[in-house]
Structure 1
Amino acid sequence: MELQSPTTLVLCGKSTVENELARCLKSNNRLKLPDGSPLNVVLNSEMECRDSAENDGKFCVTSYMDSLATSRFGRLLVYSPKLASTHDVVSHNFEELPVGGVCVADVQLKGRGRSKKCLAITKGVPYVFIHNTDGGWPSCPIGAGMPLLNVRIKWPNDLYLDGAKVGGILCTSVYKSKKFNVSAGIGLNVDNQKPTTCLNSVLQRLTPFTHRLQLEDIIAAFFNKFETFYDIFINQGFRTLEELYYKTWLHSGQRVIVQEQNEKREPISELVIIQVIG
């Protein structure tokens, strides 16, 4: 009988606080996989130093941490070269990982999307998948001199860029200890021009620069922006963000046909104009 190879998880923190938590998670053997399969947990400081230019597409922990400027989100990283599901790691270790802990994999074998590059964050806040297949990126500059990309929201769960789908959102929730832990997964296409379009392809049409955005920069930029919006939402509610939401969605003024049945169960159709979310 062939023994199953252990899944490798590399732990790394932004500061000494997160690095100490990483050491505790390793020494106490706290992290588990849902199927009980073997784990090989190591600290990033124990790994052989790799130059980002020689990573052959592998996630560069140092580059990510250098770009991260948050006080909470993304500061504890769980990285794996190959993983069944980042979501499984997060959801099965909810009590062990801190708010904003991140799980990233170069290759995801059974993820809730169709890709290789993935990310997840924990504790009642979104887990986010970042893909090299059919996903996108919000209107946010990631580097000096780079243009804003006009990514739009197609209700309820798609992201569109230049009329083509570049992302998708998947929400899940778990009720435990009298509270809901909600996870919102966001798939983003960074580098694959098929089957729709990708972030780097559109960016190259808009700017003379040859620089290509890297996954590490995008994840860090996401958390830098997300933390601000998350704090606004928690402290002031969605109303404060509602105007910004409507500025980025596709549907204001759209005419759609609503189909339903009358009392006699006969089909009826009505033309309506979309104004806001009811």
Structure 2
Amino acid sequence: MFTFEGYFQSLADSLQICLLKAGGVRDQSNQLIFPIHTKGARDESFAKICDEDDPQVELDSGWNFQSADYFRHTTAELLGNCVLFADRIPSTVHIIDRLASVLLKDINVVCVAAQQSSGKGRSGNVWESPLGCAMFSFPLVIPLATRLGQALTFVQHLVATACVLAVRNTPGYQDVDLRIKWPNDILTSDKVKVGGILVTSSIMNQTAYCNVGVGFNISNTKPTICLNELIGKVSSTSNAFSIERFIGRTLSELEKLLREFAVSGETTFLPLYLKYWLHMNQQVNIRQVNENPEVKSQDFAGKIIGLDKFGFLLVRLESGELWSVQSDGNRFDMMANLLLLQRIS
């Protein structure tokens, strides 16, 4: 008979990372690492974890993951059907890295942390992880023969769009100022960062295994601005978002986008994505930076006109030539309207 407890115990043993006891994942010293929350609990030992009347686990951060709030705000049938919650860990991305390749196909874990000590950002940057920030990671398994498998760059664009829609598709929150910055950030119209996405992937047996990490400021007013501040600017009556609500809504929107992309690819998705991004017809200077310091950089002027069919940034130069710009290794400085391209000679 399948049980979550037995399954995660076997995972813990094989990965040598934790033990599962008494309603959660614990380390070798029996300290609670992950309370586990499951939708429609599959055995009695986990049913009490989903019970709205059951007291939540008290943790050092002072924030307790409210499973009832999370499951009330998600309509996803697959994504995030099992939640691993950690009070403080180095990174949720690291946990998914350890688990993703060995998880059963129908168990779609999302790992949530109250705090991270080594949150990961793009290009090796560290994502600051204060309390009040939604920090979560989850795996996506994508066959290469599918539409998305042929254009994996779109994964980060789909996730960014889902983050925006999680708020702006909620009645009463349509005017909240959230926009998309290429390739993987959520900003305000004033170019203040609210959140970011990190997607890493590996390919094995004609399948892409993606690890998606999201950091999004919900109630923390530092280091920049947070979602609930933005909500307060457009409505004095709308309720603040909880972290659980945001994560549940994001995974719900993402699951819908993934299903639509599987049918129609970028044709249906791009108009929605471009509706919320910051760059249409933006004039930019493009600088090709050579890794060889003896080779002089080259500068070009151009205009951003969208994304191509692979999800790369599409730029039209003054000469009329079209360039597709990959996100890997390249950087966009919006304050200077400067697109930096790494070129290897």
- Give me the TM-score of the superposition, normalised by structure 2: 0.62
Counterpart CA distance in 1 for 2:65 and 2:236 is 26
Which secondary structure state, in structure 2, belongs to the residue aligned with residue 275 of structure 1? Answer: strand
- Give the Å deviation of 1:195: 2.5
Q: Describe the shift of the 1:161–1:32 C-alpha distance in structure 2 as closer, same or farther (beyond 3 A).
A: farther
Q: Describe the shift of the 1:266–1:89 C-alpha distance in structure 2 as closer, same or farther (beyond 3 A).
A: closer
Counterpart CA distance in 2 for 1:25 and 1:190 is 33
1:213-224 counterparts in 2 under 5 A?
Answer: 213-224=241-252
Which secondary structure state, in structure 2, belongs to the residue aligned with residue 217 of structure 1? Answer: helix
1:56-67 counterparts in 2 under 5 A?
Answer: 56-67=62-73
Counterpart among 299, 322, 325 of residue 269 in structure 1 = 299
- Give the Å deviation of 1:242: 1.1
Are 1:193 and 2:221 counterparts? Answer: yes
1:48-197 counterparts in 2 under 5 A?
Answer: 49-50=54-55, 56-94=62-100, 95-97=102-104, 98=106, 100-112=108-120, 113-115=127-129, 116=131, 117-124=134-141, 137-139=163-165, 140-141=167-168, 144-163=171-190, 164-197=192-225
- Give the Å deviation of 1:224: 1.5
Q: Describe the shift of the 1:41–1:172 C-alpha distance in structure 2 as closer, same or farther (beyond 3 A).
A: farther
Q: Do the aligned residues in 2 keep the contact of 1:142 with 1:221 (CA within 8 Å)?
A: no
Q: Describe the shift of the 1:181–1:224 C-alpha distance in structure 2 as closer, same or farther (beyond 3 A).
A: same
Counterpart CA distance in 2 for 1:272 and 1:175 is 34
- Give the Å deviation of 1:21: 4.8
Which secondary structure state, in structure 2, belongs to the residue aligned with residue 29 of structure 1? Answer: helix
How many residues are paired up?
A: 247
Q: Do the aligned residues in 2 keep the contact of 1:137 with 1:199 (CA within 8 Å)?
A: no
Kindly provide the CA deviation profile for residues 188-213 of structure 1, in whole angstroms up to 9, marking residues without a partner as x. 11112222211000111111126321
Q: Do the aligned residues in 2 keep the contact of 1:147 with 1:206 (CA within 8 Å)?
A: no
Counterpart CA distance in 2 for 1:231 and 1:100 is 16
Which secondary structure state, in structure 1, belongs to the residue aligned with residue 11 of structure 2? Answer: coil
Percent identity (aligned):
23
Kindly provide the CA deviation profile for residues 84-103 of structure 1, in whole angstroms up to 9, marking residues without a partner as x. 33222222122224453211
Counterpart CA distance in 1 for 2:297 and 2:91 is 43
Q: Do the aligned residues in 2 keep the contact of 1:147 with 1:207 (CA within 8 Å)?
A: no
Q: Do the aligned residues in 2 keep the contact of 1:151 with 1:161 (CA within 8 Å)?
A: yes
Counterpart CA distance in 2 for 1:40 and 1:152 is 40
Q: Mark the runs of 5 or more structure 2 residues left unpaired by the alignment.
A: 24-45, 121-126, 143-154, 157-161, 307-313, 315-323, 325-345
The one-letter code sitting in structure 1 at the alignment partner of 2:175 is: L
Q: Mark the runs of 5 or more structure 1 residues left unpaired by the alignment.
A: 1-19, 128-135
Counterpart CA distance in 2 for 1:144 and 1:156 is 27
Q: Describe the shift of the 1:24–1:38 C-alpha distance in structure 2 as closer, same or farther (beyond 3 A).
A: closer
Which secondary structure state, in structure 2, belongs to the residue aligned with residue 227 of structure 1? Answer: helix
Which secondary structure state, in structure 2, belongs to the residue aligned with residue 30 of structure 1? Answer: helix
Q: Describe the shift of the 1:150–1:180 C-alpha distance in structure 2 as closer, same or farther (beyond 3 A).
A: same
- Give the Å deviation of 1:73: 1.1
- Give the Å deviation of 1:227: 0.8
Q: Do the aligned residues in 2 keep the contact of 1:137 with 1:151 (CA within 8 Å)?
A: no
Specify the alignment match of 2:10 in structure 1. 29
Q: Describe the shift of the 1:205–1:30 C-alpha distance in structure 2 as closer, same or farther (beyond 3 A).
A: same
The one-letter code sitting in structure 2 at the alignment partner of 1:154 is: K
Counterpart CA distance in 2 for 1:184 and 1:38 is 22
- Give the Å deviation of 1:107: 2.5
* C-alpha RMSD of the superposition: 3.3
- Give the Å deviation of 1:183: 2.5
Q: Do the aligned residues in 2 keep the contact of 1:22 with 1:76 (CA within 8 Å)?
A: no
